[in-house]
Structure 1
């Protein structure tokens, strides 16, 4: 039941929000393409919820404009904006059954004949058999779907989702990620989703804006952000990255490799994967994701193919987590690297204290500016403001 929309893109131009001396959102420009699933991702206090609330009209922008297609909605009150918001709390009416909860917006506008529209929405969220139940008789995931249906029945041009899955347990949250993506694809309207959960954003969104300290740190498709982080914050916040500081010994040529002295050896990476110009004698952060690295006991080192990046070290910790085993390997230089190996078969010799060789394809390596904090985006140093998002 795809709905044809005439609204167009959501465009934020120079939008910002300050509270006294604190700037929650620094002036930013952002375009959300019509019909896309767009995620604002970041830790608490990064400005993502404030940005969403400015789009909804629940917060007044300090500067800038908000446009929906050709229409400037910056100064419109919330009820006049063609948007609806779904909150984490669902806010369902406990005394009304599911059908009447979904119909609420239509009835408030004086629409009498709601039966078919409610039935269509119940089918969309796959709750056709639950129309007469009360909210307390539904699971958290079912209540969430009711909240989405209640918002969509008003035919908004944009649906705003503020941490909508935060109250669900992990397994149910993952099911709802797929469910929301299915609903968005089916109705074809713009979804703007705020979350602090990296997996959630990457599973559901076509485009992710990673926010940090009131600004957009990097914008792109989930796979591109993960494979090609532009900053240490994005590298650490989206999953886990090994970052190794070293000295550039060969800057390479366009299309060639950059060579960096690090961990007692030399590491190579494609020049086009450096986010900062590599100059001989300069410093560079070499990055590689833990799942890209292979691990082998030192007595198997001769079997490793030539041309791969290598680091020797000793296993100092290992954790079995079902789908994979996670190793921490410490190099003689003191660098600790994380390695995720799929549990395809049991491997002998990979125990704590064992000497090992780590190796990976140079093409899976990226380079970042060494002037940045290597801890940005981690739990220890999120690189964000210390206040919570304005509610």
Structure 2
């Protein structure tokens, strides 16, 4: 087989997949840098798993080319591609020990002396002392680490992970997120990870591609996607966003000024996905945790230069680390504000008049032609066709 050490990344050129009249993945160009942890993130039916399966060779693309390094592997069957896949179902052999499960790929290739390699791989996933146990004697997280070790021992160019943590409970999933990131950092192999879990993608990945309806909505580092979403879908799908419908007053000097209800708000032009002209409409976004909340009696203490307006607390929910408030105002109905439970103000109860304020630098702008509901649970912006999962 052709050496793939040059480049070493995954490159998709014009890749698409259709099933009859349904398009699961629209023509897509995507490059995964060598040695990176790359996540394909999206709701069920967005095309992320289909894309992963085309990289693995488990699905034939309708159009386009799959490159691994400099090699065109589009026509190669899965077993001839320098990739291994880890699925949600661990697919371990129940009758074999952990040692033999990990050794399986090496033995199938005719390698006889496997003890040292298997031992090193089990040490990597911190299961060296479990080598002689059977899969049913391990926890779900431990079984998943065995599946990763079994895939990595073949020294693939790329490790593909298809919802690998989906069967684990929340606490174990969070532990495994850190484990997988540690393993990827140690081995330096390119990981391509499919998930519908936003927190999982942002915790583990260097780069995230947010998919929707068979297309990549936005691609970039997790912090950039969160702080500077380019579409309402990304703004809503990655966490929660308050999207305020506003009218542009001025756009110049690196700053955009808008009016919304009875408020005048500012945002940096560089944080706006469009370049709006005065008189046009704009969606102004701010994350709930960026907003500060004070009782109306303390409004005089709000610093000058902040974006601010008044509202009424409609509802509040105590969730331990923070209290989540829902605010009604003339600016926008049902704004969400998250306040850390450090020094709780007992006056902040439903019915109280409050002032919301935040740093204009934390504001972003989006094209107002989009639906403000795109990316929210149950919205039309989330595809649901099972073949595009």
Which bracket does the TM-score occupy, shorter chain normalised? over 0.9
Q: How much has 1:110 moved relative to structure 2? A: 1.4
2:366 is the alignment partner of 1:368: yes
**Normalising by structure 2, what TM-score?**
0.97
Relative distance call for 1:121 and 1:5 in structure 2 (3 A) is farther
SS at match of 1:201: helix
For structure 2, list consecutive stretches of 5 or more residues without a partner in the other structure: none
Distance in 1, matches of 2:273 and 2:114, equals 55
- CA contact 1:315–1:329 (8 Å) conserved in 2: yes
Q: How much has 1:340 moved relative to structure 2? A: 0.6
C-alpha offsets along residues 168-224 of structure 1, whole Å, 9 cap, x if unaligned? 011100000000000000000100000000000000000000001001000000000
- CA contact 2:6–2:70 (8 Å) conserved in 1: no
Partner of 1:300: 298
Match of 1:324 among 312, 318, 322: 322
CA RMSD of aligned residues (A): 1.2
Partner of 1:285: 283
Partner of 1:339: 337
Q: How much has 1:289 moved relative to structure 2? A: 0.4
Distance in 2, matches of 1:140 and 1:345, equals 40
- CA contact 2:14–2:64 (8 Å) conserved in 1: yes
SS at match of 1:251: strand
Relative distance call for 1:6 and 1:136 in structure 2 (3 A) is farther
Q: Which moved more, 1:149-158 or 1:266-275?
A: 266-275
Partner of 1:275: 273
Distance in 2, matches of 1:336 and 1:266, equals 19
- CA contact 1:46–1:389 (8 Å) conserved in 2: no
Distance in 1, matches of 2:111 and 2:322, equals 55
Q: How much has 1:384 moved relative to structure 2? A: 2.7
Aligned length: 386
Q: How much has 1:385 moved relative to structure 2? A: 2.3
Q: How much has 1:389 moved relative to structure 2? A: 4.2
- CA contact 1:213–1:384 (8 Å) conserved in 2: yes
Partner of 2:96: 96
Match of 1:262 among 260, 263, 271: 260
Partner of 1:160: 160
Q: Which moved more, 1:381-390 or 1:271-280?
A: 381-390
Distance in 1, matches of 2:176 and 2:383, equals 30
2:98 is the alignment partner of 1:86: no
Q: How much has 1:7 moved relative to structure 2? A: 5.5
Q: How much has 1:92 moved relative to structure 2? A: 0.6
2:313 is the alignment partner of 1:315: yes
Q: How much has 1:263 moved relative to structure 2? A: 3.0
Partner of 2:53: 53
Partner of 1:380: 378
C-alpha offsets along residues 106-129 of structure 1, whole Å, 9 cap, x if unaligned? 111111111011000110000011
- CA contact 2:241–2:288 (8 Å) conserved in 1: yes
Q: How much has 1:334 moved relative to structure 2? A: 5.2
SS at match of 2:252: coil
Partner of 1:246: 246
What does 1:11-22 correspond to in 2, within 5 Å? 11-22=11-22
SS at match of 1:181: helix
**Normalising by structure 1, what TM-score?**
0.97
Match of 1:355 among 331, 353, 360: 353
SS at match of 2:184: helix
Distance in 2, matches of 1:202 and 1:329, equals 28
Partner of 1:137: 137
- CA contact 2:244–2:332 (8 Å) conserved in 1: no
- CA contact 2:12–2:67 (8 Å) conserved in 1: yes
